[in-house]
């Protein structure tokens, strides 16, 4: 079941077309990656989902209902640009923001102190926001975003300002929220985080959908039929180079190990058949297919579209 669907979303600002018929379908209980270069339209779509702005045309539905003001209590949004009041005390401000999401003062205070203790920031409760580092402020906004246990969480560059240890802490919490039933839209330029967290993705470029689908299926779709093979000892490279079904792209030898990069030219040849063909040429100690990373796919698609 789709928790959120955005269909044919169009948004214009003066003479700029920010979104041009964009579609996303976010399955309930999934982590959905919303990707694209700067200026692609991601933030415009996120602002529409949060009802900060409205689309010029197209529809957004939440659990099958047209998006309306009541849904704001089921959505938590952590924007890329943080918005804490610098002169207010941390605890006072966190309680105030939690109350805006429907929590009572007593419930908000109790839950917040539990989270502050979990994130080891309880000592900062009575400090002013301006006294905190960027990472500390980020932790507070993350807590406030998830505190009312919304069905949909939207994180826009959530790891910005975090060191690797705290970034891993946040990743763990995001996966825990998913295990507890939350649905998460995750916008980032960090493709490594996308591979670690996302089930599905949509890539937007120049206001349009460029690519959508399950992460595993997309990576399979963009396979290049390139295999990395390691041999030990003597290798009959002449024998390998004579086969018309594949060609050697790279050949490196370090000590007694020969590393070959081989491209399979015939789609009808299976992996087992390729291995069987290579065995007579030497002693294979490692064989693996080179699967493109999301970073590879992102760069190739964006550069291709820019050229077009």
**Mean pLDDT score of the chain, rounded to an integer?**
91
Share of the chain above pLDDT 90, in %: 69
> What pLDDT, on a 0 to 100 scale, did the predictor assign at position 307?
42
Q: State in words which class domain 224-289 has.
A: alpha beta
CATH number of 2-220: 3.40.50.300
SS3 assignment, position 158:
coil
Sequence ranges of the domains in the chain: 2-220, 224-289
198 burial via Cβ count (<10 Å: 0-12, 13-18, 19+): buried
2-220 and 224-289: same fold?
no
> What pLDDT, on a 0 to 100 scale, did the predictor assign at position 308?
44
Tens digit of pLDDT for each residue in 188-247?
A: 888 889 999 999 999 999 999 999 999 999 998 898 899 999 999 999 988 888 888 888
Mean pLDDT over residues 139-150, rounded? 93
Cα angle at 133 between 128 and 136, to 5 degrees?
85
State the pTM of this model. 0.85
Tens digit of pLDDT for each residue in 52-98?
A: 999 999 999 999 999 999 998 899 999 887 678 888 999 999 999 99
User: Considering only CA atoms, which of 184, 245, 232 is closest in space to residue 49?
Assistant: 184
């Amino acid at each position: 079941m789709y928790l959120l669907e955005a269909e044919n979303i169009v948004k214009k600002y003066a003479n700029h077309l920010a979104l041009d018929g964009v579609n996303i379908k976010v399955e309930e209980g999934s982590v959905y990656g919303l990707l694209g270069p700067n200026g692609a339209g991601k933030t415009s779509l996120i602002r529409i989902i949060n009802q900060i702005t409205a689309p010029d045309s197209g529809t957004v539905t939440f659990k099958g209902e047209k998006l309306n003001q009541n849904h704001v209590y089921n959505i938590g949004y952590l924007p890329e640009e943080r918005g804490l009041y610098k002169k207010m005390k941390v605890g006072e401000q966190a309680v105030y923001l939690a109350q805006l999401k429907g929590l009572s003062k007593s419930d908000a205070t109790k839950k917040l102190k539990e989270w502050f203790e979990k994130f080891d920031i309880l000592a900062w409760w009575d400090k002013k926001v301006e006294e905190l580092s960027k990472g500390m402020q980020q932790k507070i906004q993350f807590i406030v975003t998830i505190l009312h246990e919304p069905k949909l969480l939207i994180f826009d560059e959530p790891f910005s300002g975090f060191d690797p240890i705290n970034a891993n802490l946040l990743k763990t919490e995001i996966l825990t929220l998913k295990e507890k039933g939350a649905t998460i839209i995750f916008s980032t330029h960090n493709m490594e985080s996308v591979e670690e967290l996302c089930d599905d993705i949509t890539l937007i470029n120049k206001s349009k959908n460029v690519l959508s689908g399950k992460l595993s299926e997309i990576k399979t779709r963009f396979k290049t039929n390139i295999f990395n093979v390691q041999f030990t000892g003597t290798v009959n490279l002449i024998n390998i180079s004579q086969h018309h079904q594949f060609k050697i792209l790279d050949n490196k030898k370090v000590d007694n190990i020969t590393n070959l990069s081989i491209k399979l030219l015939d789609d009808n040849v299976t992996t087992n058949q390729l291995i069987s063909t290579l065995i007579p040429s030497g002693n294979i100690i490692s064989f693996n297919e080179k699967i493109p990373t999301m970073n590879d796919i992102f760069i190739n698609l964006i550069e291709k579209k820019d050229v077009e």
